[in-house]
Amino acid sequence: MDNKKIRSILRDALEEEIPSSQVQLWPAVRASLVAGKHKLVQQGEKMNTVKPHRIPRLTFAISTVVAIALLAVALATPQGRAFAQNILQFFKPAESTTFPLQPSQIVTSEPDPSAPTAEPPAPLISVAEAEAQVGFGIAELPLVPDGFNYLGARLYGNAVNIEYETQGHGGHLVIQQSQEGLIQSEWDRVPARAIVPVKIGELDGEFARGTFVVYAGETSATWNPDAPILRLRWVKDDVWFEMTKYGDVQAIEYLDQAGLIELAESLVIKP
Amino acid sequence: MEDQYAISRLKQGDSNGLETLVSRYQAQAVHAAYIIVYDRPLAEDVVQTAFVKVAERIHQFDDERPFAPWFFRIVVNDALKLARKQKRNVSLEEHLDEPTAQLAKWLTDPGLQPEQLVEQKETRQIILKAISSLPPGQRAVIVMRYFLDMSMLDMSVKTGRPLSTIKWWLRDARKRLRGLMDTPQGR
State the DSSP H helix or E strand holding residue A176, giving kind and residue range, or none if neither. strand A172-178
With an 8 Å Cβ cutoff, are B26 and A40 in contact?
A: no
CB atoms A9 and B181 under 8 Å: yes
Residue B173 buriedness (CB in 10 A; 0-12 / 13-18 / 19+): buried
* B 83-102 → A contacts, CB under 8 A: none
pLDDT at B173 over 80: no
Local structure of A65: helix, strand or coil: helix
Helix extents (H) in B58-186:
67-86, 92-95, 98-108, 123-132, 136-142, 152-159, 163-181
Using the beta-carbon criterion (under 8 Å), do B41 and A261 form an inter-chain contact?
A: yes
pLDDT, average across residues A101-116 = 53
| pLDDT for the residue numbered A117 | 44
Which range has the top average pLDDT, A33-47, A59-73, A106-120?
A33-47
Q: Which residue does chain B place closest to A40, by CA atoms?
A: B13
Where residue A261 falls among pLDDT bands split at 50, 70, 90? very high
Q: Are residues B69 and B121 in the same domain?
A: no
The answer, yes or no, to whether residue A138 has pLDDT greater than 80, is: yes
- Tell me what the mean pLDDT of segment A152-165 comes to: 91
Give yes or no: residues B26 and B69 share one domain. Answer: yes
Q: Hey, is the C-beta of A61 within 8 angstroms of any chain B C-beta?
A: no
| B172 shares a domain with B100 | yes
Choose one of B27, B56, B86: the last residue of a domain.
Answer: B86
Name the residue facing B15 among A24, A40, A257 (closest C-beta).
A40
Residue A185, pLDDT score: 80
Q: Evaluate if residue A87 carries a pLDDT over 50.
A: no
Mean pLDDT within A174-187 = 85
Which is higher by pLDDT, A32 or A128? Answer: A128
User: What does pLDDT average to over chain A?
Assistant: 76
**What region, left, alpha or beta, does residue A196 occupy, with left being phi > 0 and alpha being psi -120 to 50 degrees?**
beta
Measured between beta carbons, the chain A residues lying within 8 angstroms of B44 are 23, 25, 28
Residues B96 and B172 in one domain: yes
Q: Are B15 and A41 contacting, i.e. CB atoms less than 8 angstroms apart?
A: yes
Interface residue B175 vs chain A (CB under 8 A): no
Q: Which of B43, B71, B86 is the last residue of a domain?
A: B86
**A72 or A180, which is more confident:** A180
The whole-number average pLDDT for the span A207-216 is 84
Bridging pattern class, strands A190-191 and A93-94? parallel
| Choice between A24 and B138, residue whose per-residue pLDDT is larger | A24
Instruction: Express each pLDDT in A235-251 by its tens digit.
Output: 998 899 999 998 888 88
pLDDT band at A118 (very low <50, low <70, confident <90, very high): very low
Specify whether B44 is located in the same domain as B124. Answer: no
Q: Residue ranges per domain, chain A?
A: 22-109+121-269
When CB atoms are compared, the residue of B52, B142, B145 closest to A29 is: B52
Cβ-defined contact of B30 to A38 (cutoff 8 Å): no
Output the domain CATH number for residue B59: 1.10.1740.10
Structural domain that includes position B75: 3-86
**Where does residue A102 fall: left (phi above 0), alpha (psi -120 to 50 degrees), or beta otherwise?**
beta
**Residue A201 near chain B (CB below 8 Å):** no
Confidence label for A57 from pLDDT (cuts 50, 70 and 90): very low
| Residue A32 touches partner B, C-beta closer than 8 Å | yes
Indicate the number of domains in chain B: 2
* pTM exceeds cut of 0.80: no
CB-CB neighbors (< 8 A) of A36 in chain B: 52
Nearest to B58 by CA among B114, B4, B139, B1: B4
